[in-house]
Amino acid sequence: MPESKGENPLVNAQQLSDEQVCNTFNKFLVGVEAKLFRRNNRVRFLEEELENKKEELTEKSKELKQKDMINA
């Protein structure tokens, strides 16, 4: 059964065979899984960036403390 563009195949599930419903749902799940994978990768990247910034700020803080000790 050909789908028109923009039509949600899950809405017309009663007109589809069990195999067609399973295939459609599997395609949907693959799409959701791909989105989650990309989002998880983005979160990991941001966590690494945050950790790098924390290390950078810790180093700057140590440098400033040393300068304060020298100037005191």
Instruction: Count the domains in the chain.
Output: 1
Residue for token digits 């589809």? 16
Describe the chain by its helix, strand, coil percentages, rounded to 5: 80, 0, 20
Distance CA 16, CA 22 (A): 10
| 10-residue stretch averages of pLDDT, the chain, 72 residues long | 58 74 93 98 98 97 90 78
- C-alpha span between 24 and 18 (Å, rounded): 10
In a domain, 2, yes or no: no
Domain that includes residue 25, residue range: 19-71
5 falls within a domain: no
DSSP-based three-state secondary structure for 42: helix
Asked if the structure places residue 50 within a domain, the reply is yes
pLDDT at 14: 64
